[in-house]
């Protein structure tokens, strides 16, 4: 192999991740003999990288593993069901050699704590909200651009697209985990204890938000008082009036019965709410190539299927809520006043990928619109 043989993007990423996970810094950026422009490595650096990858990855025959997956959603949530199906599929495909224990409902901690466990290798897999990821990597805040997509179908198309997939490449280096595939919960809606006509009526009211910056900014720009609160605390806070409203999706509003403590559902579809299935970098590097292919494919398949389930089920949850006597008010982008344009002005510099995502979302919408 001649000196300067092209190093594939995948080899490059893996090498960088190996070095990073072992605290050796990033030789790819630092060393001479490697061109960031052409993507070529000298023979010397390439051999060193391949030796290191070979040493640190388990190229030996697959060993039986009891994997662990953590997530914050309750047992009845579609993400949790997908995690269980992923485990069953893994066990079936390996004839029981690999098993998966699923820990839902924050049994292993908050998403920040799950991430720490993943980084140390104490946890193998997680399904993390992109909100947690965006707190560390602002580029991911772009997914929360209000009305970036119109519905879950468009959200799923965007997450399956090339820009979103490329964004996952940053995870090994920045977070020490590999992103295997996206998933989503439904679009965000506003459920309010008081009878309100429009989101702008939320002025000064305490609205529960998932704790992440893009959403906090959005409600601040709207003039509300965003109140960060984990999912597990929402029911009591809404019931006892500690908060006036919640930012939530239809699945949770219906299944957790939040609607019982509220007068108005503003059906706004104002934001998508993606998640990502990840594997600990340490676990990944110890897997054989065959096991990497298997866990990647199975996780991606089961998460992807959930996106279709949301497309099928969101309409039914809406019908169920209307049937339960909830006052449903249809609201659109115009009812948020200037908050949407102001949010974009604030977030485009922090998450420049937003421009590309918007173009891709618009092209997807054009393609799916009946002519
Ligand atoms: C929330 O914080 O609202 C949330 C988190 C995970 C799944 C669905 C909703």
pLDDT tens digit string along 114-123?
Answer: 999 999 999 9
Token pair for 232? 């597990």
Nearest to 249 by CA among 327, 189, 198: 189
The mean of the pLDDT values for the chain is: 87
pLDDT tens digit string along 276-308?
Answer: 999 999 999 999 999 999 999 999 999 999 999
Nearest-angstrom CA–CA distance, 99 and 93? 10
pLDDT reported for residue 3: 29
Our answer on whether the CB atom of 205 is closer than 6 Å to any ligand 1 atom is no
Burial of 293 (0-12, 13-18, 19+ CB in 10 A): exposed
User: Given pLDDT bands bounded at 50, 70 and 90, which one contains residue 29?
Assistant: very low
Our answer on whether the CB atom of 248 is closer than 6 Å to any ligand 1 atom is yes
Q: Count the Cβ atoms, other than its own, within 10 Å of residue 214.
A: 25
Is residue 44 pLDDT above 70, yes or no? no
User: Given pLDDT bands bounded at 50, 70 and 90, which one contains residue 125?
Assistant: very high
Structure letter (DSSP) for residue 110: -
Our answer on whether the CB atom of 187 is closer than 6 Å to any ligand 1 atom is no
Nearest-angstrom CA–CA distance, 208 and 226? 6
Instruction: Please check whether residue 189 is in contact with residue 249, taking contact to mean a CB–CB distance below 8 angstroms.
Output: yes
Q: Is the pTM of this model over 0.75?
A: yes
pLDDT reported for residue 89: 98
Nearest-angstrom CA–CA distance, 174 and 170? 6
pLDDT tens digit string along 71-115?
Answer: 999 999 999 999 999 999 999 999 999 999 999 999 999 999 999
User: Which atom of ligand 1 lies at the shortest distance from residue 185's CA?
Assistant: 8
Range with lowest mean pLDDT among 17-31, 226-240, 342-356? 17-31
pLDDT tens digit string along 221-260?
Answer: 999 999 999 999 999 999 999 999 999 999 999 999 999 9
Instruction: Please check whether residue 247 is in contact with residue 215, taking contact to mean a CB–CB distance below 8 angstroms.
Output: yes
Nearest-angstrom CA–CA distance, 97 and 94? 5
The alpha carbon of 209 and the centre of ligand 1 are apart by a number of angstroms equal to: 9
Is residue 8 pLDDT above 90, yes or no? no
Range with lowest mean pLDDT among 60-64, 71-75, 273-277? 60-64
Q: Which of 114, 245, 249 to mutate to test ligand 1, by most ligand atoms within 8 A of the CB atom?
A: 249
Token pair for 66? 């009891």
Nearest-angstrom CA–CA distance, 86 and 97? 14
Q: Which of 232, 252, 275, 307 to mutate to test ligand 1, by most ligand atoms within 8 A of the CB atom?
A: 252
User: Given pLDDT bands bounded at 50, 70 and 90, which one contains residue 62?
Assistant: low
Our answer on whether the CB atom of 209 is closer than 6 Å to any ligand 1 atom is no
Which whole-number Å values give the CA distances from 312 to 53, 153, 186, 250, 316, in the listed order? Answer: 43, 9, 11, 13, 8
User: Given pLDDT bands bounded at 50, 70 and 90, which one contains residue 371?
Assistant: low
Our answer on whether the CB atom of 78 is closer than 6 Å to any ligand 1 atom is no
Instruction: Please check whether residue 75 is in contact with residue 104, taking contact to mean a CB–CB distance below 8 angstroms.
Output: yes
Mean pLDDT of 26-55: 31
User: Which atom of ligand 1 lies at the shortest distance from residue 79's CA?
Assistant: 7
Structure letter (DSSP) for residue 58: -
pLDDT reported for residue 368: 84
pLDDT tens digit string along 315-330?
Answer: 999 999 999 999 999 9
Query: Which contacts (CB < 8 Å, 24+ apart) does range 29-37 have?
Result: 34/7
Sheet holding 98-103, edge to edge: 98-103, 65-70, 125-129, 273-280, 177-185
Token pair for 244? 């006036």
pLDDT reported for residue 310: 97
Nearest CA to ligand 1 atom 8: 185
Q: Which of 70, 71, 73 to mutate to test ligand 1, by most ligand atoms within 8 A of the CB atom?
A: 73
Our answer on whether the CB atom of 246 is closer than 6 Å to any ligand 1 atom is no
pLDDT reported for residue 369: 76
Our answer on whether the CB atom of 148 is closer than 6 Å to any ligand 1 atom is no
The alpha carbon of 212 and the centre of ligand 1 are apart by a number of angstroms equal to: 11
3-state secondary structure of 63: coil
pLDDT tens digit string along 159-203?
Answer: 999 999 999 999 999 999 999 999 999 999 999 999 999 999 999
């Amino acid at each position: 192999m001649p000196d300067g043989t092209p190093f594939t993007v995948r080899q490059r990423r893996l090498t960088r991740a190996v070095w990073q996970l072992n605290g050796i810094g990033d030789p790819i950026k630092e060393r001479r003999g490697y061109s960031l422009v052409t993507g070529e490595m000298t023979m010397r650096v390439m051999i060193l990288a391949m030796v290191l990858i070979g040493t640190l990855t388990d190229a030996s025959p697959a060993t039986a593993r009891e994997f662990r997956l953590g997530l914050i959603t309750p047992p009845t949530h579609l993400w949790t069901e997908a995690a269980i199906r992923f485990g069953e599929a893994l066990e079936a495909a390996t004839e029981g050699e690999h098993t998966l224990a699923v820990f839902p409902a924050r049994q292993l901690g908050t998403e920040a704590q799950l991430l720490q466990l993943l980084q140390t290798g104490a946890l193998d897999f997680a399904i993390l909200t992109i909100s947690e990821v965006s707190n560390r990597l602002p580029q991911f805040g772009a997914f929360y651009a209000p009305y970036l997509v119109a519905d879950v179908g468009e959200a799923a198309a965007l997450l399956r697209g090339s820009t979103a997939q490329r964004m996952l490449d940053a995870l090994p280096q920045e977070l020490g985990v590999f992103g295997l595939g996206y998933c989503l919960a439904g679009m965000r809606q506003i459920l309010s204890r008081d009878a309100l006509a429009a989101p702008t009526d939320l002025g000064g009211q305490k609205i529960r938000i998932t704790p992440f910056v893009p959403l906090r900014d959005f409600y601040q720009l709207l003039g509300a008082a965003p109140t960060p609160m984990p999912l597990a605390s929402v029911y009591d806070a809404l019931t006892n009036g500690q908060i006036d409203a919640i930012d939530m999706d239809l699945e949770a509003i219906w299944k957790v019965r939040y609607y019982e403590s509220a007068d108005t559902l503003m059906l706004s579809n104002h934001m998508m709410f993606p998640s990502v299935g990840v594997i600990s970098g340490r676990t990944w590097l110890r897997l054989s190539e065959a096991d990497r292919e298997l866990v990647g494919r199975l996780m991606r398949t089961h998460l992807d299927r959930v996106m279709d389930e949301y497309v099928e089920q969101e309409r039914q949850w809406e019908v169920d809520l209307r049937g339960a006597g909830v006052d449903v008010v249809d609201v659109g982008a115009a009812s948020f006043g200037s908050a949407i344009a102001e949010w974009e002005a604030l977030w485009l510099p922090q998450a420049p990928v937003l421009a590309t995502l918007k173009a891709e979302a618009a092209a997807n919408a054009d393609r799916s619109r009946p002519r």
